[in-house]
Structures are given as structure tokens and as C-alpha cells.
Amino acid sequence: MDISAAALTKRYGPLAALDALDLEVQGARVMALIGPSGGGKSTLLRAIGGLELPTSGALAVNGVDPSGKDGGLSWRRRNGFLFQQFNLFPHLTAYRNVTLPLEKVHGHAPEKAKSLADESIERFGLAAHAHKLPAQLSGGQQQRVGLARAIAHRPEILILDEPTSALDPEMTAEVLELIGELATGGQRIILSTHEMGFARAVADQIALIAAGKVAEHGTAAGVLESPREEITQRFLSKVMRFA
């Protein structure tokens, strides 16, 4: 996974969620974004996924400008997304939440959609819950449905925004284990997380995002164990104090 951002800026009125952000990533298998809340991690993920149009600057992911002529809907279809709010269709069963995008977004015939959904549902241990509506599922189960939906079409990149933010410790461990298995299986992933132990275990590169900029970027071991920048040192001293 290659990412190149130059002076990437995203403004919402007077607020610069991304402020002339520069980032160069080459050959990453799993990229983790860490940093304080409100620093721009979610906005960067949405720009990478083609869900936010930058105000200015340049962005390329695997050679594609997500907001350019080669990006847009085609780019979004190539990738998988899971955000802090699970965004499941509340009136559809877990199974139908997986098959519907396969049919309507990715253009698969119903039988092919069912085949892909069966594989994904089974992979995440959801067969016994496939008939349930989201309201009948626990938070961890809903998150697993979201993951099953995100990977069912075999995405180029899986984009995860704080995938465990709304989960209790037991469910957090369960979902992180599933994401780790995806990474081990070769899935390219970029995610934001406050789970430093998980980031150290699965990510090969880490970027700390703060105030709309990349404060530090390097290998997982380098950033977490030998941070160069004072802002990184301060952040890690806080989040790892009780880890």
C-alpha cells in the first residue's frame, strides 16, 4: 500500500481538519494512525477512501487520486470501510446487510452475492446470528457484521476508523483478534486506533496525526518505542500510562 499526500488540506469553514498535511508511505501492509481526538485521523481516512474531497493539495493511494477521474465511485467500490458508527441498515437482517451492497454496489448476481456473503459470515462466526436484526445483536456482533460487509467483496484496502471505540474490553479483544487475522492473511489495512498494543502488534508503519498534520511517521517499533518528536512522546506517555 502506497500513500502520497502533499499539502493536503480539508477545511470546514474556518476549521482546517487537515492542514497542509504531508505523508509518504511505501509498501505498507498495515498502516496505523494514532494521535489525539480531533487531530484529523478520521478526515484523512475519509479522504483516502474517496469519501471527502480535499479543499486543496494532492493525494494518491496506490497511484490513484481518490477524488480524481480514476477515483470516485470506482475507487470506493474497490475498498472496504468500517466507521465508528456501524452504519448497519436497521431494518435488514445481518445477512441482508452483507448481501445488499454486493448486489447493488458491486453488481453481483444474487447467487454470487449469497456465496460471497456465506463465506464472509462464516469467517466472522456469525452464522447463528445471520437472521437477526442489528438491534438484536451485541455491539461486538454488530461490529463483526460491519467487518463481514466490508471485506465480502475482497477489497483492495480495508479502511477502519476506531473499530473498537464503542466496545467493551471483551468485545474489543474479539474484534482486534479478527482484524489481526485479516492482516496476517494479507489484507491491506489502514486504520485509526487508540489501542497501542494492537498497533505495535499488527502495523508495520504508524503515523501520529495532530492538528491536521503528520507529527511523526515511521515503523511501529520506531514510533512507539523511540519517538523522536516531543508531541509523540507526550501523547504516548498519556495513553500508555495505564496500558
What tens digit of pLDDT does each residue of 100-112 get?
Answer: 999 999 999 999 9
pLDDT (average), residues 142-154: 90
Domain check: are 39 and 4 in the same one? Answer: yes
Structural domain boundaries, residue 135: 86-154
| CB atoms inside a 10 Å sphere around CB 44 | 29
Q: Does one domain contain both 143 and 171?
A: no
My answer on whether 174 and 137 are in the same domain is no
Are 176 and 62 in the same domain? yes
Number of structural domains the chain divides into: 2
37 and 73 part of one domain: yes
State pLDDT tens for residues 68-102. 777 788 899 999 998 877 789 999 999 999 999 99
Which grid coordinates belong to 43?
Answer: 478526515
CB count within 10 Å of CB 116 equals 20
Please check whether residues 67 and 171 belong to one and the same domain: yes
Residue 70 sits in the same domain as residue 164: yes
Residue whose cell numbers read 492538528: 211
Q: What is the pLDDT of residues 13-53, one digit of tens each?
A: 999 999 999 999 999 999 999 999 999 999 999 999 999 99
The amino acid present at 18, given as its one-letter code, is L
Based on the domain organization, do 231 and 165 belong to the same domain? yes
If asked whether residues 229 and 172 sit together in one domain, one would say yes
CATH number, position 47: 3.40.50.300
| Sign for the pseudo-dihedral over CA of 40, 41, 46, 47 | positive
Q: Which residue has the cell 493511494?
A: 61
Q: How far is CA 186 from CA 128, 154, 157, 202, in A?
A: 27, 11, 10, 11
240 and 168 in a single domain? The answer is yes
Q: Same domain, yes or no, for 74 and 105?
A: no
| Structure-model confidence comparison of residues 234 and 86, the more confident one | 234
Looking at the fold, whether 163 and 237 belong to one and the same domain comes out as yes
